[in-house]
Chain A
């Protein structure tokens, strides 16, 4: 399927470190930029980008020492392939300007280069890529479950669902409180086995958030699925649509809950190593259940996804611990 993505040079408006290893970036959205919750951009991570070095003239500088170390692969510090990053939100300011919000977890060379970018720098982005969350999934209550960087696409999704009159609750799990890249109100602490929604978090536009930490330092002690079950024990599972983004292990656990409680819909945003994100490298293969002899068909996260129905996905959890 041909991609509708284009190449854009987007200006960075702000960069802000958060938590132990996250960075929030806002980019100036061009007037003709269109994106929907769940889509992503594929970003070139280089410093500087070789295009700016004019490859044809690099060799001809009269002052270059001899013998010269040449070759752009040496001149630029970069990752070779781009890095896919979820679009967190597309916000409109009172003055009419719009900004694309990204949340990046600093885990490898690509994300490290992105974290060092400053306001005024430009990012070479392909996008928007991928399908999007279906905002019309049945369920008056929308529960959005994220882990790690998986909170990113849920932010804009939450806002869009609130605008459609859904009652939105976010669930976020991390190892400890340092793994939460949000501006939490002061005075929060452990809540044991009780799911206590926190409101007034600016990054979430005020949507209530139930937090789980594995060390119990903040919110529910345990995994995000424990927080989800604790909340469900208080409010029931009726009329709920689930949305998720996080490690395969987390999404797999969420899919198990979906089956157990026979929920009509749970859309998950999947992650996989991508070489191109335009559907040619065939790296991001994901198995989706099918009624054939093999029992599955191969779908590609970049073009068929990244959003899939959880019940369709065969979770293999092979990519955990990869360092983009």
Chain B
């Protein structure tokens, strides 16, 4: 019998646990040139802010050992252009759309989230309080418990229809209290983790390589860190609260996705791997199905937290 791949994240039924990761899949058409987006469990957009943002100066990206360091700076088309130009195309693709929302003030988060909640075709809102590459806001909310509670509660009050997901930063001493604060403030799911803060230096020129000096590290290099954070949050917060975790960080192959599910994730996101192979996400879906069949699991959901002890 074919294993059942579908999983539940908040109010969204996903046909499989595999999503794109914000900022690595544009607004959809770019990847749709390589595969049918309906093969995904959900599509997560590039971050959307109230106003359009041009992004940081270049260099914005540099490769490090088994990783990629980026400081794009939330370059995006802005809320109005997203609603007018990007969403209409995306909502016709037969895939749940989750919009990543970033901002610099609570009011901005609330305004953007409320507008998206009211827009047909937005299944979920992923609150980005964890971008390491913008000067103010974002990470400020993600790193302090009071800040996190303030922004998540305020957005919670404004979002009625869409599933509210909070994406957490790993750049903290302990992610567990922040995950708990997010859940207590109304998050219906948690995405973890965003990129790890890092930097790269050119010794010949004696300069930081990124124009922004520091950036966010992604790719296989961060997978062990992400796995441990998923594991910790699952054991200490998510399991009891019955809040699904979306695991992200260095997943390239189905075997990586399986590891995240075993650690406690309900779904996963494919980020940097989409740069290497634009069709990496559907390949992970197929590999996951093979793993389930080969190991006699009837449902993908049965893998969540199924780590033997």
Q: Which residues of A contact B (CB under 8 A)?
A: 1-7, 44, 50, 55-56, 58-59, 71-73, 79-82, 126, 272-276, 278-286, 294, 298, 316, 318-319, 321-322
Q: List 11 A-B contacts (CB under 8 A).
A: A7-B278, A44-B277, A55-B287, A58-B255, A273-B61, A275-B61, A276-B24, A283-B72, A285-B55, A298-B75, A319-B58
- CB of B93 within 8 A of chain A? no
Q: Interface readout for B42-84 with A: 1 if CB under 8 Å, 0 if not? A: 0000100000001100111111001110101001000000000
**Alpha-carbon gap, A285 to B290, bound state (A):** 40
CB-CB under 8 A for A80 and B34, given A276-B275, A278-B278, A281-B61: no
Tell me, rounded to whole Å, the shortest Cβ–Cβ distance linking B155 to chain A.
Answer: 25
Return the chain A residue nearest B290 by Cβ.
Answer: A56
**In this complex, what residue of A is CB-closest to B254?**
A56
CB-CB under 8 A from A5, the residues of chain B are 33
- Out of A1, A126, A316, A321, name the residue touching B58 (CB < 8 Å): A316
Bound CA–CA A24/B287 (angstroms):
36
Is there contact, CB below 8 Å, between A50 and B33? Answer: no
> Does B29 sit within 8 A of A, measured CB to CB?
yes
Q: A280 touching B59 by the CB < 8 A rule?
A: no
Tell me if B204 is interfacial: C-beta within 8 Å of chain A.
yes
B276 engages A56 (CB within 8 Å): no
Give the interface SS of chain A, mostly helix, strand, loop or mixed. Answer: loop
**Would A7 and B34 count as touching, CB distance under 8 A?**
yes
Contact of A282 among B32, B55, B291 (CB under 8 A): B55
Task: Tally inter-chain residue pairs, CB-CB below 8 A.
Answer: 127
- Expressed in whole angstroms, the minimum distance between the Cβ of B205 and any Cβ of chain A is 7
- Which residue of A1, A6, A275 contacts B68 across the interface (Cβ within 8 Å)? A275
A321 vs B287: C-alpha distance when bound (angstroms): 40
Contacts of A50 in B (CB 8 A): 252-253
Are A319 and B72 CB-contacts (below 8 A) given A73-B220, A276-B274? Answer: no
> Chain B nearest CB: distance from A14 CB in Å?
26
Nearest-CB residue, chain A, relative to B34: A7
Is the C-beta of B304 less than 8 angstroms from some C-beta in chain A?
no
User: Is B31 in contact with chain A by the CB < 8 A criterion?
Assistant: yes
Q: Is B96 an interface residue (CB 8 A)?
A: no
From residue A123, how far is it (CB to closest CB) to chain B in Å?
Answer: 14
Query: B30, B55, B59, B274: which contacts A273 (Cβ < 8 A)?
Result: B59
Which chain A residues border B274 with CB–CB below 8 Å? 276, 280
Look across to chain A and name the residue whose beta carbon is closest to the beta carbon of B294: A56
B195 at the interface (CB under 8 A from A): no
Contact B211 A7 (CB under 8 A): no
A2 to B34, CA, bound (A): 10
Nearest CB of chain A from residue B240's CB, rounded to whole Å: 31
In the complex, chain B residues whose CB is within 8 Å of the CB of A58? 255
Give Cα A278–Cα B32 distance, bound, in whole angstroms. Answer: 11
The list of the 8 closest CB pairs from A to B, nearest first, reads A283-B61, A55-B253, A276-B275, A73-B220, A280-B26, A2-B29, A55-B255, A2-B33
Most chain B beta-carbon neighbours within 10 Å: one of A73, A82, A284: A73
The listed residue with most B CB atoms (<10 A of its CB), out of A7, A58, A279, A282, is A282
* Given A72-B252, A81-B63, A316-B58, residue A280 in contact with residue B25 (CB < 8 A): yes
Closest chain-A Cβ to B231's Cβ sits at a distance in Å of 17
With A80-B63, A273-B62 in contact, is A298–B255 under 8 Å at CB? no
**Who on chain A is nearest to B25 by CB?**
A280
Q: Is the CB of A282 within 8 A of B60?
A: yes
Judging by beta carbons under 8 Å apart, are A80 and B220 in contact? Answer: yes
- Docked-complex contact A7 and B24, CB < 8 angstroms: no
| Contacts A79-B63, A283-B70 supplied; 10 other A-B pairs, CB < 8 Å | A50-B253, A71-B220, A73-B66, A80-B63, A278-B33, A280-B31, A283-B59, A283-B61, A284-B58, A298-B54
Q: Which residue of B lies closest to A83 (CB)?
A: B63
Asked if B272 contacts A80 (CB within 8 A), the reply is yes
Given A55-B287, A280-B24, A280-B25, A319 and B68 touching (CB < 8 A)? no
Instruction: Tell me the nearest residue of chain A to B24, going by C-beta.
Output: A280
**Contact B24–A80 (Cβ < 8 Å):** no
The distance in angstroms between the C-alpha atoms of A279 and B31, with both chains bound, is 9
* Contacting pair B276 A281 (CB below 8 A): no
For the complex, give the distance between the alpha carbons of A146 and B55 in Å: 31
Name the one of A4, A282, A319 contacting B33, with C-beta atoms under 8 angstroms: A4
